[in-house]
Chain A
Amino acid sequence: NAGVTQTPKFQVLKTGQSMTLQCAQDMNHNSMYWYRQDPGMGLRLIYYSASEGTTDKGEVPNGYNVSRLNKREFSLRLESAAPSQTSVYFCASSGQLDGTEAFFGQGTRLTVV
């Protein structure tokens, strides 16, 4: 029972490079989320997907794109990384339609130099 799995755990990028963070859940959840966590800023919602086939912007979507590939997978793409995107990224999922607990992945520590 893996829960929410994120890859990679660590990544260093040069400014302007692109990358995709992968997230998969095995709990048959409808909703999936991407957050970034910066010191003193809490968890800020980048994008979310309330159900398969839909995605919506969160609080800080600029510089990111997402794909809900299927019910299990929700990826986050940085097309042209900037130092301001240095952060810890968390993916989460929940059975949102009935208001249940959100489970988080282990996080990805991304550094853009």
Chain B
Amino acid sequence: GENVEQHPSTLSVQEGDSAVIKCTYSDSASNYFPWYKQELGKRPQLIIDIRSNVGEKKDQRIAVTLNKTAKHFSLHITETQPEDSAVYFCAASRYGGSQGNLIFGKGTKLSVKP
């Protein structure tokens, strides 16, 4: 089955700096790669996602890149702010047909220091 590795497990940056979180996946058939943000005591919420037919996607200060050949994808946050502090999870899945699993990495705790 699918296995998702995520690095680093913790990341501390100064406000205004950039943060990069990297994930690798094992199942070459995976075609959907979402990123979730979880604030303390709350449920995970989607911040950005990318499908395998796209190499990069941006949404304001957040971007995700995908390298299908190497089977890795990354989250980039620019101009970090204290409210970006949270745990971030990457995930991989196959959509279409009868495939329905959604496998997560172990998470990255991001701390943004003012």
Contact = CB atoms under 8 A, between A and B. Distances in A.
Q: Kindly state the interface size class of chain A when it binds its partner.
A: 20 to 34
A42 B51 contact: no
A33 B102 contact: yes
B100 A43 contact: no
Interface string B84-109: 00000100010111111111111100
Given A98-B95, A101-B34, A101-B49, A40 B102 contact: no
Nearest to B100: A50
Given A40-B106, A41-B106, A96-B93, A102 B100 contact: no
Nearest to A35: B104
Contacts of B31: 99
A43 B89 contact: yes
Contacts of B104: 35, 42-45
A31 interface: yes
Given A33-B102, A102-B102, A107 B43 contact: yes
Interface of A: 30-31, 33, 35, 40-45, 48-51, 54, 56, 58-59, 90, 92, 94, 96-102, 104-107
A56 B2 CA distance: 14
A56 B106 contact: no
Would you call the interface of chain B mostly helix, strand, loop, or mixed? loop
Contacts of A104: 43-45
Interface string B66-85: 00000000000000000000
B71 to A, nearest CB: 18
Given A40-B106, A42-B107, A102 B101 contact: no
Contact of B101 (A51, A58, A90): A58
Given A48-B101, A90-B44, A97 B106 contact: no
B26 to A, nearest CB: 13
A45 B103 contact: yes
Contacts of A40: 9, 106
B100 A49 contact: yes
B29 interface: no
